[in-house]
Amino acid sequence: MPHLDEDGMCRICRWTLSPHGGERDCHCPFCSLCTRFIGPELSFHHTERIYFRSEGEGDLLVPFRRKMPSNKSVSDAPITQFVNCQILRDHKLQREDLWVRKGRILDPAKLFFDEQGSADRRVDCGGCIIAPGFLDVQINGGYGVDFSQATDDVSAGVALVAKKILEHGVTSFCPTLVTSPSAVYHKVIPQVKVQNGGIEGAGILGLHLEGPFISREKKGAHPEKYLRSFQSGGEGGGAGGGVSDLLETYGSLDNVAMVTLAPELPGSQTVVRELSQRGITVSLGHSVANLSQAEEAVNNGASSITHLFNAMNAFHHRDPGIVGLLTSDRIPAGRTVYYGMIADGIHTNPAALRIAHRAHPSGLVLVTDAITAMGLPPGRHTLGQQVLEIQGLHAYVAGTTTLSGSIATMDMCVRHFKQASGCSIEYALEAASLHPAQLLGISDRKGTLNYGTDADLVLVDEDLNIKATYISGEEVWRE
């Protein structure tokens, strides 16, 4: 039949003819719905406007063709159809095609039924999995670039990293600044703008400001002399309630997506409320907070934990601290607490990865926490105001055994997490895409392959190696 290829597959939807449906019907979500009778002897296949008529009782339906309307009657934008693939949708892999127009994912049923449209070009995915592009909400730099260095051209450094991480499947990210002098924030923040990605590099979702309002006891690699506390106002409000300290330190909250702070600091709960009301994600980290203080912060609007298990009190059965948020019964209804996990094989033991995953799977967000040495050989590098030493896959504050960020890439983290946790391919991919999008409140446009969302895609093989990266439906990197 004209709408089938030599393998018996529908030329449009790519599904095989139903073995029990005779030659009248395709076995696919669209064709099986649309092959309907018009009168006793006429039916049609909408996708190619192939009509069928009976030429006698018991005879096979005989096809004849009517002219297919042009897509130009609907839009001048070309339609791309990704074929020979599995797509990650609704938490499972589905063998179907993906349709894209004007940078967004199309609903093929509406395209076929309402517009009577077809593809302008097809991309053969060679059997790969199509997943949403990865989002990295904690990355300090890479390839010799340190986001916390106040250079004369900060944007050029950010652009370099944005370009390089495309090969690791990252389509959007949050440049992260560690604890720094106020002068650094005042110079760097105005130069980093939220922007869409493209062939020039991954999109910028906004800055992640990790510090300086953190605990001295759990400062990790953050330089102690630049740590700050909230001086103005208190938990009752007044004198800016601590927010004026933020503005004095950072200079501006424009283009800021996320702030990490310690909830036990006096005045912090007021700050949590204010940041949350401004639409900025508040994450708890570098902290000695007990569980009650962490729960209070969540009830005031905090929604995340920064690199779980690292730079916080160890789990204790009488007071589990921030870690206890994973199973707390004091989380407001309808809210999810997310937690960053550095799955580089160094920062977190595989057993700890499994504990977190099994205790609270819906909140796990893979992050790289990558530093300037990502993509560079071993040696000495910088992170903010600190000197670091890279030994193998370990990054230490020079002269110490204090871990300081990671040199892992996001695709490495996805693969290691799947191997260490024993989770499904689907879950590993969503931990780097759907979950960070939900954390930032942008899953209506990022992190899924739902109809109408941005066509930011990554093609991976069954071993989760990156084969190609797309932003807005356009190829930006290929192996």
Q: Which residues are catalytic?
A: 369
For every residue of 282-322, which 3-state class applies, written as one string? Answer: EEECCECCCHHHHHHHHHCCCCEECCCCCCECCCCCCCCHH
**Are 135 and 413 within 8 A, CB to CB?**
no
Phi, psi of 316 (to 5 degrees): -135, 140
Cα 210 vs. chain centroid, distance in angstroms?
A: 19
Cα 174 vs. chain centroid, distance in angstroms?
A: 10
Measured from the Cβ of residue 122, the count of other Cβ atoms closer than 10 Å reads 14
Q: How many residues does the chain have?
A: 479
C-alpha dihedral (31, 472, 374, 371), degrees to nearest 10: -120
Q: If you compute the radius of gyration of the chain from its CA atoms, what whole number of angstroms results?
A: 26
> How many secondary structure helices (H) and strands (E) does the chain include?
11, 28
Phi, psi of 476 (to 5 degrees): -115, -15
For every residue of 331-348, which 3-state class applies, written as one string? Answer: CCCCCCCEEEEECCCCCC
Per-residue DSSP letter, 418: H
